[in-house]
Structure 1
Amino acid sequence: MKLEGVLTALVTPMRGDGIDTEALERLVDEQIQAGIDGLVPCGTTGESPTLSHAEHLTVVEIVVRATRGRVPVLAGAGSNSTKEACELATACKELGADATLQITPYYNKPTQSGLVAHFTAIAEASGLPMVLYNVPGRTGCDLKPATLAELARHPLVVGVKEATGDMIRAARIRELCGEGLSLLSGDDFTLLPFLSLGGHGVISVGSNVAPGLFVALCRAAREGRWDEARALHYRQLPLSRALFSVTSPEPIKAAMAMLGKIEPTIRLPLQVLPDDHPTRAELRRVLDTLELRP
């Protein structure tokens, strides 16, 4: 299974205390019509830490159903409990997901050999392809390139979402793992250099609001039109700065609400950005510059 291009880390629209099913279905259609290459429900951007298990699987089910096989669905199904991750991944397979996204276990901080055992157990329990997600800034657990290379020998480990923003590391992963492993950026800021080093695409937050921009950037790079890709990269940077000026997904949900795509609801311990928050003004300015309007 080869994943490349732009995969959107979908927000989870909420209304009151529940999932806004209609808004989520609309988002799926809008993303696919904009040319997106895949959808990633129930990641950090989708507020997976505050979804119940039932809600988590409901979101995956809605996205799979609404996608209708038009693009791959890479369902977030990770946990710091190997048993729980096995159960989630197996459930996502039964719901029709094409693959799962598996984060490194957070808080309990396993060793590198523990990571190998953890991810191998999930692959064998679910039988579903998976992309490993390395974001030590959030998890306190770092999947080292050599460990990733060891895991990449497993036929169900098909990719990595590398979110450190470290281009030396990105190059080392490509060097160790070669072309066979889908190398996906988890950091919109460094997308262009990541692609230039042999990356295949991105799991993006910004593509929630500007899918066409990110699709055009990745396609230009893939086709060797680097001057165009560079111009598009600098065009998206102000958006990335605004979207990560405070803890994500607070800004992306605010931006989506400004565009009339979702309600601004977000679950504690994250909060709706106050009306007078400086990030709101910056988001409005950037959205206007990109000619993104309701």
Structure 2
Amino acid sequence: MTTTAPSVPPFGRALCAMITPFSEGGALDLDGAQRLADHLVSRGCDGLVLSGTTGESPTTTDAEKAALVEAVREAVGDRASVVAGVGTFDTRHTLELAREAEKAGADGLLMVSPYYSKPPQDALEAHFLAVADAVGLPVTLYDIPGRTGTRIEPDTIIRLAEHPRIVAVKDCSHDFLAAQKVLARTDLAYYAGCDEHNLALYAVGGAGYISTVANVVPEQLRAVLDAFEAGDTPVSAHLQQRATPLIESMMSAGLPGSVTVKALLGELGLPAGPVRAPLQPAGREAVDGLLGAYEQLMAG
């Protein structure tokens, strides 16, 4: 086993957990999704992850999810990878979504651990293996226990890594030691799912990030990885620190990332639209705070 992530991560290094644009009336905005996808890829994103947490997957239909993959695939062509979120709390439903994403042109799948029912580790393992066995696409495990209520334990991930199509992890566990344990014992590509960990995880062999904040500042986050790759650790650390106030404002101020991203993109004139209920839009005070952090970063 190697002790670092592969030299060429399966989906690229700088991935954006893209929002799902809606019209002002709440319908899926495929034209907006294509324009936003092109914007993000043109500004440094190697890949786009659709229908994840930031993509409001709980409130989009199966048909909308497939249509989104098709539209974004058309917009970005072979310039970027397209990873489709297919995780649900129902193995049968997850299998259906995985097959539809494959038909729609996705390059890979993102599978969150089943939520609410809190399955034990052997059931989690069986769930992921059932999907990996049934489709031909590479799978990224999405470990975000703060939302699902269930951790994918490191030993479970290590066992799952033996499957040839389970190739990556999006890590939102906030357990940096566990991430390093898995990195040391597998060839999995480990992606930071929390933007405050982008550089830290990359520095110990991570593959890169799957970032919510990249919806707003794709070039600035990509620059962190580029500086580290160039061997300039002080510059990469400085760039990560500069981004920290915006990361905090967007991800740790009490509002979901989909809400803060859409608020900022709307102010910047980029496709976004409203969030779907039960989420509610950010208030004016919150928007002004987000804009202040954004402008501070952009001012250098």
Calculate the TM-score normalised by the size of structure 1: 0.95
Write out aligned runs for 1:283-294 (5 A). 283-291=290-298
Cross-structure match for 2:287:
280
Q: Give distance in 2, aligned partners of 1:281 and 1:170.
A: 36
- Contact 1:7-1:36 within 8 A present in 2 as well: yes
- Contact 2:35-2:271 within 8 A present in 1 as well: no
Q: Give distance in 2, aligned partners of 1:113 and 1:142.
A: 12
- Contact 2:192-2:209 within 8 A present in 1 as well: yes
Q: Shift in Å at residue 165 of structure 1?
A: 2.3
- Contact 2:98-2:109 within 8 A present in 1 as well: yes
Write out aligned runs for 1:55-204 (5 A). 55-177=64-186, 180-204=187-211
For residue 40 of structure 1, what is the amino acid of its counterpart? V
Structure 2 unaligned blocks of 5 or more: 1-8
Q: Shift in Å at residue 223 of structure 1?
A: 3.1
Q: Give distance in 1, aligned partners of 2:126 and 2:55.
A: 27
Cross-structure match for 2:229:
222
Q: 1:19-63 CA deviation, whole Å, 9 max, x = no partner?
A: 112211111111111121111111110100000111111111111
Say which of 247, 256, 259 aligns to 1:250.
259
Q: Give distance in 1, aligned partners of 2:21 and 2:195.
A: 22
Q: 1:181-202 CA deviation, whole Å, 9 max, x = no partner?
A: 1110100012221112211100
Whether 1:240 and 2:243 are equivalent positions in the alignment is no
Q: Give distance in 2, aligned partners of 1:87 and 1:222.
A: 39
- Contact 2:113-2:152 within 8 A present in 1 as well: yes
SS at match of 1:70: coil
Q: 1:144-201 CA deviation, whole Å, 9 max, x = no partner?
A: 1111010001000010001122211221121222xx2111010001222111221110
Which fold has the larger relative contact order, with Cα–Cα distance below 8 Å and residues 6 or more apart in sequence? 2
SS at match of 1:106: coil
Whether 1:13 and 2:53 are equivalent positions in the alignment is no
For residue 21 of structure 2, what is the amino acid of its counterpart? P
Cross-structure match for 2:32:
23
Cross-structure match for 1:212:
219
Q: Give distance in 2, aligned partners of 1:223 and 1:121.
A: 40
- Taking structure 1 as reference, are residues 261 and 204 closer, same or farther at Cα in structure 2, changes over 3 Å only? same
SS at match of 1:12: coil
Q: Give distance in 2, aligned partners of 1:221 and 1:140.
A: 34
Worse-matched range after superposition: 279-288 or 46-55: 279-288
SS at match of 2:210: strand
- Taking structure 1 as reference, are residues 83 and 286 closer, same or farther at Cα in structure 2, changes over 3 Å only? same
For residue 248 of structure 2, what is the amino acid of its counterpart? R
Q: 1:209-247 CA deviation, whole Å, 9 max, x = no partner?
A: 100011111122233321111011001111111111122
For residue 210 of structure 1, what is the amino acid of its counterpart? V
For residue 35 of structure 1, what is the amino acid of its counterpart? G
Q: Give distance in 2, aligned partners of 1:96 and 1:264.
A: 25
Q: Give distance in 1, aligned partners of 2:11 and 2:32.
A: 26
Q: Give distance in 2, aligned partners of 1:219 and 1:130.
A: 26
- Contact 2:67-2:104 within 8 A present in 1 as well: no
For residue 81 of structure 2, what is the amino acid of its counterpart? P
- Taking structure 1 as reference, are residues 166 and 224 closer, same or farther at Cα in structure 2, changes over 3 Å only? farther
- Contact 1:4-1:182 within 8 A present in 2 as well: no
Calculate the TM-score normalised by the size of structure 2: 0.93
Worse-matched range after superposition: 50-59 or 138-147: 50-59
Q: Shift in Å at residue 263 of structure 1?
A: 4.4
Question: In angstroms, what is the RMSD of aligned CA positions?
Answer: 1.3
